[in-house]
Amino acid sequence: QVQLVESGGGLVQAGGSLRLSCAASGRTFSNYDMGWFRQAPGKEREFVAAISVIGGRTYYADSVKGRFTISGDTAKNTAYLQMNSLKPEDTAVYSCAAGPYGSARQSRQYDYWGQGTQVTVSS
pLDDT digits (tens, 9 = 90+) for 6-53: 999 999 999 999 999 999 998 877 788 999 999 999 999 999 999 998
Confidence (pLDDT) at 54: 85
Confidence (pLDDT) at 86: 98
pLDDT band at 89 (very low <50, low <70, confident <90, very high): very high
Sheet holding 18-25, edge to edge: 3-7, 18-25, 78-83, 68-73
Q: Give residue 107's region: left, alpha or beta (phi > 0; psi -120 to 50).
A: alpha
| Closest by Cα among 75, 80, 23, 88 to 51 | 80
Looking at the DSSP assignment, which residues form a beta bridge with residue 31? Answer: none
pLDDT band at 99 (very low <50, low <70, confident <90, very high): very high
Indicate the helix (H) or strand (E) that contains 58. Answer: strand 58-60
CA angle centred on 39, ends 33 and 45, rounded to 5°: 60
Mean pLDDT of the residues in the chain: 95
Percentage of the chain lying above the pLDDT 90 cut: 82
Instruction: List, in sequence order, the alpha helices (H) in 4-122.
Output: none
Confidence (pLDDT) at 74: 85
Confidence (pLDDT) at 30: 75
pLDDT band at 2 (very low <50, low <70, confident <90, very high): confident
